[in-house]
Amino acid sequence: MELSDEVRALVKQCDSLSSFADRDGIVCIPPVRGELSAADRLQNLLAAAYGEAWSGDKLADLLAAADHAGKTLETWLREKFFVQHGRHFHHRPFVWHVWDGLHDGFSVLLNYHKLDRKNLETLIYTYLGDWISRQKQEKAAGVDGAAEKLDAAEGLKKRLELILQGEEPYDIFVRWKTLAQQPVGWAPDLNDGVRLNISSMDAGTRCGQKRRGNPAG
């Protein structure tokens, strides 16, 4: 790639941040399964990336630049991140936000490129399962709001299991493949997604050319 020396230096610096990458691509916003919350993990990453320049004021500046002034990293992750991520990547996000509908309930960011059947099962039965177990314990202990969180989480579990099984209308349908080639259950082919993105971009380019009066459109 044709990159400037400055950009190459920045790319090299990023190698030191590889240890912060999540192996399964599943990052829960609340602390689940003994892992730190997404906000804590992100703050640790930012501190390492900025080094001596990192401070509370720097965090405040970053949140203000992300249209979230005076609020927290956690609320930005819950409320703003996915919308901004989708807009930045032209509505073709590779990080998905899955949540149970409660502002303080189960919420997770997923790296779609790693979201195979095994990792979807891990999400349902390990991460979400841990959250559900905790809500059951808190409900039994009379913790306020636990019953609502438990109902929302169990509802999310049922919907994710429908996607895992792939029963219509929760199945994957690839329009250029025959019925025999269609995946059974959650078994996405990343190449199909790449092809769809390219075809969508190509169609958008052709439409733009036609609007500009390009005879080749």
The domain ranges of the chain are 12-165, 171-211
What is residue 124's DSSP assignment?
A: I
Give pLDDT tens digits for 182-196. 888 888 877 777 676
What does the pLDDT look like over 90-106, one tens digit per residue? Answer: 888 999 999 999 999 99
pLDDT per residue as tens digits for the range 148-162? 999 999 999 999 999
What was the pLDDT predicted at 147?
Answer: 98
Per-residue CA distances from 167 to 114, 143, 163, 171, 183 (Å): 22, 36, 7, 5, 11
**10 Å Cβ neighbour count for 72?**
12
Cis previous bond, 169, omega within 30: yes
Tell me the C-alpha to C-alpha distance, in Å, between residue 56 and each of 17, 46, 75, 113: 20, 11, 16, 33
Query: Looking at residues 136-158, what average pLDDT do you find?
Result: 98
Structure tokens at 63: 């949140």
Q: For the whole model, what pTM was predicted?
A: 0.83
Mean pLDDT across 62-80: 97
Reply yes or no on whether the pLDDT at 214 is more than 60.
no
pLDDT per residue as tens digits for the range 27-56: 999 999 999 999 999 999 999 999 999 999
Q: What's the average model confidence in pLDDT over 72-80?
A: 97
